[in-house]
């Protein structure tokens, strides 16, 4: 038998804690939980079919990331959607992404251009997938990640990602958020063009406006 067995470590071998983390994070951003709601741990255990330890580890990670609020001896809560906080998040996003985009246009090479085009293509074709809605969101996130990737600052990218996740929780809770997609996709095409042409000034303007567009819709998700 020279036929090799499957390698000892499967490629997707990840811990239960990481899987619950990813699933919970997705559902939180998706808006599957009511803002302000208290999480019933024993209920989550059933929903996500995991034991207590990995579940609690995932909840702790999410709290440290800012997608959950942890209260002293009384568990975890989904943060409320506050207008004040949305303003804060959107403003910083605009500032950080304008800055990162400029740096990315200055540093990005041919390899980056190719990957950006690939990401854009996948975004355009997102409707054809099953569960088109969620798939578009995935591709959208990946497109923006790719766009800023060569900016040169790992920590800036980290903060941008975190703000993006926070922001999306508001945007996707807004009633009219799906009507936005067509408009956003036009801007995505323009962003790609400007990126390839290294149109720094115009790109800065556009990414700012791009965020503003979602921001204006996201406002309607806030209670206060």
Partner DNA sequence: TATGCTGAAAAAATCGATTTTTACTATGAC
Partner DNA sequence: GTCATAGTAAAAATCGATTTTTTCAGCATA
Q: Which residues bind DNA (CB under 7 A)?
A: 4, 8-9, 13, 15-17, 38-42, 50-54, 56-57, 70, 72-76
Residue 220 binds which entry of DNA, a copy of itself, none, CB below 5-8 Å type-dependent? none
Is 51 one of the binding residues for a copy of itself (CB under 8 A)?
no
Is 13 one of the binding residues for a copy of itself (CB under 8 A)?
yes
Binding-residue total with a copy of itself (CB under 8 A): 31
Smallest gap from residue 60 Cβ to a copy of itself (A): 5
Is 65 one of the binding residues for a copy of itself (CB under 8 A)?
yes
Torsion sign across C-alpha atoms 111, 204, 123, 190: negative
User: Cα-flanking dihedrals φ and ψ of residue 12, to 5°?
Assistant: -95, 15
Residue 36 binds which entry of DNA, a copy of itself, none, CB below 5-8 Å type-dependent? none
> In this complex, which beta carbon is closest to DNA, that of residue 38 or of residue 145?
38
DSSP string, 126-162: GGGSSSHHHHHHHHHHHHHHHHHGGGS-HHHHHHHHH
Rounded-to-integer distance, Cα 205 and Cα 143, Å: 18
In which region does residue 49 sit, left (phi positive, over 0), alpha (psi from -120 to 50) or beta (all else)? left
> In this complex, which beta carbon is closest to DNA, that of residue 13 or of residue 182?
13
Rounded-to-integer distance, Cα 137 and Cα 81, Å: 20
Smallest gap from residue 212 Cβ to DNA (A): 38
């Amino acid at each position: 038998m020279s036929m090799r067995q499957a390698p000892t470590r499967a490629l997707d071998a990840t811990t239960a804690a990481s899987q619950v983390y990813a699933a919970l994070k997705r559902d939180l951003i998706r808006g599957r939980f009511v803002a302000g709601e208290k999480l019933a741990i024993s209920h989550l255990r059933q929903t996500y079919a995991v034991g207590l330890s990995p579940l609690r580890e995932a909840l702790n990670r999410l709290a440290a990331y800012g997608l959950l609020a942890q209260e002293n001896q009384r568990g975890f809560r989904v943060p409320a959607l506050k207008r004040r906080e949305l303003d804060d998040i959107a403003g910083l996003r605009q500032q950080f992404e304008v800055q990162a985009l400029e740096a990315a246009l200055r540093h990005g090479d041919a390899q980056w251009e190719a990957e950006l085009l690939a990401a854009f293509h996948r975004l355009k074709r997102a409707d054809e997938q099953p569960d088109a809605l969620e798939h578009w969101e995935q591709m959208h996130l990946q497109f923006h990640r790719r766009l800023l990737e060569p900016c040169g600052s790992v920590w800036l990218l980290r903060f941008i990602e975190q703000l993006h996740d926070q922001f999306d929780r508001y945007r996707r809770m807004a009633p009219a958020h799906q009507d936005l997609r067509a408009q956003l996709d036009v801007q995505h095409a323009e962003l790609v063009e400007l990126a390839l042409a290294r149109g720094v000034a115009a790109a800065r303007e556009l990414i700012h406006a791009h965020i503003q567009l979602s921001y204006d819709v996201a406002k309607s998700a806030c209670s206060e």
